[in-house]
Structures are given as C-alpha cells and as structure tokens.
C-alpha cells in the first residue's frame, strides 16, 4: 500500500488522479484544506473525510509517515492574471510549509503543481529559490510544463509540475501526450438550463471590452467556443464572475456560461463526482483544481518507480530473515 498526503487539497483532484492510477493500492493518510466550501465537496466525494485546516497551524511532526507528498500549492502569488507578488504575498510563503514537511518526514517522492508562470516569476529567481530548497532537502528534481489538452480533455491549461525523488538514481520521465482527438462538444450537456445564458447587458459589455482591447492591439476579451472547437481557454477561479474566459455559442441566443458539471468534465472529473455546493462555489473550485487526467498520467510514471522501492525493501527484509 502506497501512502500519500494531500496538501492544499482543494476538492481532491490530485488525490483522485493517484487513486485512479493505482486503484486500491493507494491510501491517503492525511489531507489539509482551509476553505470550508472545498472541504464540503472533498468530504462528499471521499467517504465523509474532512481535511484538516490551515497547514501553517499543524506541526510537521504530527503528520503521518507517507510515501508521496502531493501539493498544488497556492498559485495566485505567481499567476500572470494576478499581482505576481510571489514570496512577498503570504500565500507564496506556503511553499516553505511543504519544505518543512519534506525535511521532517522524508517521503520517498513528491508531486507539486503550479501555474506555468512560476518558472518566469521575478525573472526566474523565485523558481531558483524553490529548486534550491527542494534539492537541499535531499531530492532529485524533475520539472516539466504539461497541457491538459494533451491528456484527453478539451482544455488549454498549462501547468508546471515538479517531481522529486529521494533516490537520486531515479530515471523518471514525464508522460507524453495521449494524442487523443477531442472536442468541446464531448463535455457539453445536451440541454443546459437557460439560467446559464448571459444577459444582453453582460454580452454587450463583453463585446465592448473586446473591441476596446483589439483597438489597443492586444487579444484580451471573452473567448467564444462551440461543440466543434478543439479546446477552450483556461478556466480560472474567477469564472463565476462573468464567464468571459469560456462562453459557449448558441444559435439565435446570447452565448452561455459552462455549467458546473461541464467545468468538472473540462477538468477531467468523472460524472460520479458530487457537486454539493452552489454554482459560484463550484466554479471557483473547478477553476482552482487540477486536470485529473494529467495527474493520473504523472502518477502512473511515479508509482511504477515507488512500487520498485517497496519491492526492494521487501526483498531486503526477506534476505535478512533468511540470513538469520
């Protein structure tokens, strides 16, 4: 049994990816999430398990031993769409909570996820600090930016993934694109409620702002897609505000926003995933989450190696027993 911990867990997307990759051979021994609505969704989908709260208030020594640490640590401090304040933002310092756990508990491996702009933040200095601290903690590091649209969901979502192993002989490689043909129509509901159709006022505002940006020579503005589109723009936690990132074209109607279930599908969450919160909270949760198929693909590559570690330990133990 491979033990994982799920930090900054959100609604459990990283955990889901590992559970799907390794089925019943994964045990989540600890999770942490402070947002009460995310906790509600997490509990609804993981047999009532409620993550612990603020990780900064949980001593590292009290966290159970584990094999793999998972953490999609807060991306807002490094996001292109935000203020890009990095470690100046208190959320940016949460990376060091991960470091403390790695040093104290020494899991065999970890997987971290963040926005692709993390690598370029502060002219690359922020990323160098992160790499230096992870290496100083004793890990061999692998880094790659992957796009969700290459892993079976019609979603242009690039994220940087950082994998580390205590064993420096690790020959880990990130998964390659599945090359599966997908369309936005694959995730759309046949009959979306009319409440998701945006108002005349909002639609006029979207069009006006896009025209203004175009006049300035940039491409900012709403994104309009249909069932034949290969993929959508990236959905974010602010999608609930006006839906401008991803609007679905409708014949003889104003465009509509994605439904929460469509957002779930866009991130690769299966139909059985429960959405017990309001639409606005659901939009925030899926916008903040990870693309589950990407995590699953990385997990398969990682778990093959972790499995070998466990087999080696069993062989060594068996040899010691025979020697006696």
- Number of other CB atoms surrounding residue 49 within 10 Å: 16
* 263 included as an active-site residue: no
| CA distance linking residue 302 with residue 98, whole number of Å | 19
Which residue, among 168, 135, 68, has the nearest Cα to 108 in the 3D structure? 68
- Number of other CB atoms surrounding residue 171 within 10 Å: 9
Classify 158 as helix, strand or coil.
strand
| CA distance linking residue 98 with residue 202, whole number of Å | 41
| CA distance linking residue 150 with residue 194, whole number of Å | 31
| CA distance linking residue 258 with residue 184, whole number of Å | 11
Classify 230 as helix, strand or coil.
coil
Classify 156 as helix, strand or coil.
coil
Which residue, among 172, 116, 140, has the nearest Cα to 298 in the 3D structure? 172
Strand bridging mode 68-71 / 109-115: parallel
Helix (H) and strand (E) counts for the chain? Answer: 9, 9
Q: Which of 28, 75, 263, 311 is catalytic?
A: 75
Catalytic residues: 75
């Amino acid at each position: 049994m491979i033990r994982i911990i799920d930090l900054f867990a959100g609604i459990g997307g990283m955990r889901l990816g590992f559970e799907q990759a390794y089925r019943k051979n994964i045990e989540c021994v600890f999770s942490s999430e402070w947002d009460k609505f995310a906790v509600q969704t997490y509990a609804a989908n993981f047999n009532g398990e409620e993550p612990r709260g603020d990780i900064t208030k949980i001593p590292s020594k009290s966290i159970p031993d584990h094999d793999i640490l998972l953490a999609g640590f807060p991306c807002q401090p490094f996001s292109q769409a935000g203020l890009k304040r990095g470690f100046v933002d208190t959320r940016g310092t949460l990376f060091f909570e991960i470091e403390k756990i790695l040093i104290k508990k020494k899991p065999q491996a970890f997987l971290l996820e963040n926005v692709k702009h993390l690598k370029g933040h502060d002219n690359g200095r922020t990323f160098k600090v992160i790499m230096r601290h992870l290496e100083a903690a004793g890990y061999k590091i692998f880094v790659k930016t992957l796009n969700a649209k290459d892993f079976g969901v019609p979603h242009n979502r690039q994220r940087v993934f950082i994998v580390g192993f205590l064993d420096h002989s690790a020959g880990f490689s990130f998964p390659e694109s599945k090359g599966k043909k997908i369309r936005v129509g694959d995730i759309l509901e046949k009959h979306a409620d009319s409440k998701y159709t945006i108002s005349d006022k909002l639609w006029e505002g979207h069009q006006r702002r896009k025209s203004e940006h175009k006049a300035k020579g940039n491409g900012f503005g709403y994104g309009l897609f249909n069932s034949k589109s290969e993929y959508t723009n990236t959905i974010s936690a602010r999608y609930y505000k006006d839906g401008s990132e991803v609007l679905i074209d409708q014949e003889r109607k104003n465009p509509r926003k994605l439904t929460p279930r469509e957002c779930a599908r866009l991130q690769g969450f299966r139909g059985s995933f429960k959405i017990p919160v309001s639409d606005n909270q659901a939009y925030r949760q899926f916008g903040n989450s990870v693309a589950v198929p990407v995590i699953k693909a990385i997990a398969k590559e990682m778990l093959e190696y972790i499995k070998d570690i466990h087999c080696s330990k069993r062989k060594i133990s068996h040899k010691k027993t025979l020697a006696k």
